[in-house]
Structure 1
Amino acid sequence: MIVLHHLNNSRSQRILWLLEELELDYQIKHYKRDAQTNLAPSTLKLIHPLGKSPIITDGDVTVAESGAIIEYLVERYGAHLKPKADTEALRQYQYWLHFAEGTLMPPMVAKLVFDKVRANAKPFFVKMIANKIADKVMEGYYMPIITSNLEYVDTHLQNNLWFSGDELSGADFQMSFPLEASFSRGGGKQYPAIAAYVQKIHQRDAYKRALEKGGEYAYA
Structure 2
Amino acid sequence: MLTLHHLECSQSFRILWLLEALGAPYELKKYDRDPESNLAPDEYKALSPLGTAPVVTDGDLVLAESNAIIDFVLDSYPESDLRPGAGHKDRARHLFWFHAAQGSLMSIQSVGMVLTLLETRTPWPVSSMLRTVFGQVRKVFVKPRLSALFELMESDLAKKPFFGGDNLTAADITLVYPMYAARDRGAFDTEYPNISAWFNRIESLPSFIAARVKDDRERINFRF
Settle same-fold status: TM greater than 0.5.
yes
CA–CA distance in structure 1, aligned partners of residues 79 and 11 of structure 2: 22
Q: Deviations over 1:17-57 (max 9, x none)?
A: 11111122222222223334332223223222111110111
Q: Tell me the equivalent position of 1:198.
A: 199
> 2:180 touches 2:221 (CA, 8 Å); kept in 1?
no
Q: Tell me the equivalent position of 1:101.
A: 102
State the identity as a percent.
33
The DSSP-based 3-state class of the residue aligned with 1:187 is: coil
> 2:119 touches 2:135 (CA, 8 Å); kept in 1?
no
Q: Deviations over 1:77-105 (max 9, x none)?
A: 36322223223312222222111101111
Larger mean Cα displacement after TM superposition, 153-162 or 84-93: 84-93
Map 1:1-220 to 2 at 5 A: 1-77=1-77, 79-80=79-80, 81-122=82-123, 124-125=124-125, 128-129=128-129, 131-188=131-188, 189-216=190-217, 217-219=220-222
Amino acid at match of 1:14: R
Amino acid at match of 1:56: V
CA–CA distance in structure 1, aligned partners of residues 72 and 86 of structure 2: 17
CA–CA distance in structure 2, aligned partners of residues 126 and 147 of structure 1: 32
TM-score norm. by structure 1 comes to 0.89
Relative to structure 1, the CA distance from residue 126 to residue 2 in structure 2 (aligned partners, 3 Å threshold; closer, same or farther) is: farther
- How many residues align? The count is 218
> 2:6 touches 2:54 (CA, 8 Å); kept in 1?
yes
TM-score norm. by structure 2 comes to 0.87
Amino acid at match of 2:24: L
The DSSP-based 3-state class of the residue aligned with 1:211 is: helix
Shift of the alpha carbon at 1:128?
4.6
CA–CA distance in structure 1, aligned partners of residues 38 and 129 of structure 2: 25
> 2:158 touches 2:194 (CA, 8 Å); kept in 1?
yes
Shift of the alpha carbon at 1:106?
0.7
> 1:8 touches 1:215 (CA, 8 Å); kept in 2?
no
Give 5+ residue unaligned stretches, structure 2: none
Relative to structure 1, the CA distance from residue 183 to residue 34 in structure 2 (aligned partners, 3 Å threshold; closer, same or farther) is: same
The DSSP-based 3-state class of the residue aligned with 2:185 is: helix
The DSSP-based 3-state class of the residue aligned with 1:70 is: helix
The DSSP-based 3-state class of the residue aligned with 2:144 is: helix
Choose between structure 1 and 2: higher helix proportion. 1
Shift of the alpha carbon at 1:126?
5.3
CA–CA distance in structure 2, aligned partners of residues 126 and 23 of structure 1: 57
Shift of the alpha carbon at 1:119?
4.2
Relative to structure 1, the CA distance from residue 63 to residue 9 in structure 2 (aligned partners, 3 Å threshold; closer, same or farther) is: same
Give 5+ residue unaligned stretches, structure 1: none
Shift of the alpha carbon at 1:133?
2.8
Amino acid at match of 1:139: K
CA–CA distance in structure 2, aligned partners of residues 39 and 96 of structure 1: 28
**Displaced runs of 4 or more, over 6 A:** none
> 2:154 touches 2:195 (CA, 8 Å); kept in 1?
yes
Relative to structure 1, the CA distance from residue 131 to residue 33 in structure 2 (aligned partners, 3 Å threshold; closer, same or farther) is: farther
